[in-house]
Amino acid sequence: MRDFIEFISLSNPTVKIVLIGVVLISLSSSLVGNFAFLRKRAMLGDAISHSVFPGVCLSFIVSGEKDPLMILIYSIVTGLIAMFLIDVIGRHKKVKVETAIGIVLSIFFGLGIMLISYIQGNLGDAQSGLQHFFFGQAAAMSREDVQVFLYCSIIIAGTIILFYKGLKQVSFDREHAIATGQPVVLLEIVLSILTVMAIAIGINAVGVILMAALLITPASTARLWTNRLFPMMVIAAILSVVSAIGGAFISYKYSGMPTGPWVVVLLSIMAFGSILFSPKRGALSRVIARKRLERKILKENILKTLFKLQEADKEQTSGFSLQEINCLKAFDGRALERGLKWLQQEKSTQIKNNKWTLTASGNQIGKRITRVHRLWELYLTNKVKLDIDHVHPSAESLEHIITPEIERMLQEELNFPDKDPHNKLIP
């Protein structure tokens, strides 16, 4: 804990540079990543990040030094050329966009490797540092680097806020945006430049290979937690900042631990966590929902069975034993007792001398389930024209999900019947 406070207080100047740099990088890529994700351009980010690499090498060959601004400019240029090529190739009838992405990615990355070999062979040791762009090297960030990151982040965030409405419209319904006369081409060019810019600074921290994760993972994780764009962007930003701080801290605390890859690992952990635990869309909440439904079905089945027992035997008022209930409908023994206990707590059933009876509220539910069951059977025989021996299994399962609205529609459709196809009274 003390380590963390010391780390986050930015008292150490090197830590300060790295931390600010990584946070700015993560934040920028998560911002543009939202639109890449929503426009289904996830793989494009991967292609661009491989394509800015030859730009990094070129800037070094031309200027002979590692100047962050020059690197940025050259990588934006090669990145945009790659994006343009993907667009042109992808528009060809016989080539799909993902093919175009694959082609351009390998050509540009190959070119980058050629250039870096040339630098290593001909320009001597001064090249040390260029390989960092493969895997990223946050620790090597300089004050000048971080300054460039800051300007880029301001440009990216500012432009997205300024064009927010337009970007939202283009991402949701591009054709409608064109039809209403929005400057769609302009918006798309702006978005492309921002994306390439975010990638060009991002490879400093995580390298070309992991860059796509920094771009797409925050947005796709945030999407699991909300159904609205603005909150999604806020959540994505928070996730990216948290993982950036976490990654930088792990690298600070433990020797030999790289920052960038740890940022990606933390992002991935949050992504998997969200897949498991997010409300509605998460795996866990689906398991809980299913358990809840199973419980509801068991309870309703018990109430219905008790109702039918009472219906068949008007004089018997002292209640029914477990065996009698099981005779009419076979329950798993433990389940029946468990269900009856729950129902007793809910005051739907009561027990006297080991015999179970329905309370008034339990009777209501049992009656409704029986009614819905018989209505559905009648509907299947009369309207769907199923044979009478085919209708029971369907009714047995659907009686639990038929809503009062559907029940009403059934009654109207069947003209408020009083007998089901087995000639039993519809209660």
Partner 1 sequence: MASKSNPHNNSALQVHSLSVFYGDKPALWEIDFELKQGKKIGILGPNGSGKSTLMKTIMGLIKPASGYVKILGEPLSNVRSKIAYVPQKESVDWDFPITVKEVVQMGRYKPNKLFGRLSKLDKELATKALEQLKISDLADRHIAQLSGGQQQRVFLARAICQEADIYFMDEPFTGVDAATEETIIGIIDELAAEGKTIIMVHHDLNSAQEYFDHIVMLNTRLICCGSTAEVYNQENIKSAFGSQLTILSEIGNKINELNYPVREAGESDS
Q: Applying CB under 8 A, which of residues 2, 94, 228, 385 lies at the interface with partner 1?
A: 228
Q: Map residue 320 onto helix, strand or coil.
A: strand
Task: With CA atoms as reference, report the closest residue to 199 among 372, 3, 51, 371.
Answer: 51
- Give the Cβ contact number of residue 300 at 10 Å: 19
Q: Tell me the torsion sign for CA atoms 245, 246, 247, 250.
A: positive
Q: Applying CB under 8 A, which of residues 134, 135, 151, 163 lies at the interface with partner 1?
A: 163
Count interface residues toward partner 1 (CB under 8 A). 27
Q: Applying CB under 8 A, which of residues 41, 66, 223, 308 lies at the interface with partner 1?
A: 223
Q: Applying CB under 8 A, which of residues 119, 134, 150, 168 lies at the interface with partner 1?
A: 168
Helix (H) or strand (E) holding 379: helix 360-382
Note whether 94 binds partner 1 by CB under 8 A: no
Note whether 165 binds partner 1 by CB under 8 A: yes
Amino acid code (one letter) for 32? V
Q: Map residue 350 onto helix, strand or coil.
A: strand
Nearer to partner 1, 223 or 367 (CB): 223
Amino acid code (one letter) for 97? V
Closest CB 27 distance from partner 1, rounded Å:
20
Nearer to partner 1, 214 or 229 (CB): 229
Note whether 182 binds partner 1 by CB under 8 A: yes
Q: Are 203 and 133 in contact (CB under 8 A)?
A: yes
Chain centroid to CA 155: 28
Note whether 256 binds partner 1 by CB under 8 A: no
Tell the burial category of 273 from Cβ atoms under 10 Å away from its Cβ (0-12, 13-18, 19+): middle
- Which one of 148-156, 177-185, 205-213, 309-317 is the stretch in contact with partner 1 (CB under 8 A)? 177-185
Note whether 427 binds partner 1 by CB under 8 A: no
Measure the CA–CA gap between 2 and 137, rounded to whole angstroms.
26
What CA–CA distances, in Å, run from 403 to 115, 279, 376?
Answer: 68, 23, 12
Measure the CA–CA gap between 64 and 333, rounded to whole angstroms.
82
Measure the CA–CA gap between 346 and 364, rounded to whole angstroms.
13
Note whether 172 binds partner 1 by CB under 8 A: yes
* Backbone torsions φ then ψ of 274, nearest 5 degrees: -70, -40
Q: Applying CB under 8 A, which of residues 123, 126, 178, 276 lies at the interface with partner 1?
A: 178
Closest CB 312 distance from partner 1, rounded Å:
41
Closest CB 176 distance from partner 1, rounded Å:
6
Note whether 232 binds partner 1 by CB under 8 A: yes
**Binders in 64-93 for partner 1, by CB under 8 A:** 93
Q: Applying CB under 8 A, which of residues 99, 120, 147, 226 lies at the interface with partner 1?
A: 226
Nearer to partner 1, 177 or 196 (CB): 177
Measure the CA–CA gap between 156 and 115, rounded to whole angstroms.
29
Nearer to partner 1, 184 or 213 (CB): 184
Four-point Cα dihedral 194, 196, 201, 202, nearest 10: 100
Note whether 162 binds partner 1 by CB under 8 A: yes
- Strand 349-352, strand 355-358: pairing: antiparallel
Q: Applying CB under 8 A, which of residues 20, 27, 38, 410 lies at the interface with partner 1?
A: 38
Closest CB 161 distance from partner 1, rounded Å:
9
Note whether 166 binds partner 1 by CB under 8 A: yes
Q: Are 136 and 128 in contact (CB under 8 A)?
A: no
Note whether 106 binds partner 1 by CB under 8 A: no
Task: With CA atoms as reference, report the closest residue to 381 among 347, 408, 413, 409.
Answer: 413
Q: Applying CB under 8 A, which of residues 208, 211, 229, 402 lies at the interface with partner 1?
A: 229
Q: Applying CB under 8 A, which of residues 92, 143, 176, 408 lies at the interface with partner 1?
A: 176
Note whether 102 binds partner 1 by CB under 8 A: no
Note whether 227 binds partner 1 by CB under 8 A: yes
- Which one of 220-228, 240-248, 249-257, 391-399 is the stretch in contact with partner 1 (CB under 8 A)? 220-228
Q: Are 53 and 235 in contact (CB under 8 A)?
A: no
Q: Which residues bind partner 1 (CB under 8 A)?
A: 38, 40, 93, 162-163, 165-166, 168-169, 171-173, 175-183, 223, 226-229, 232
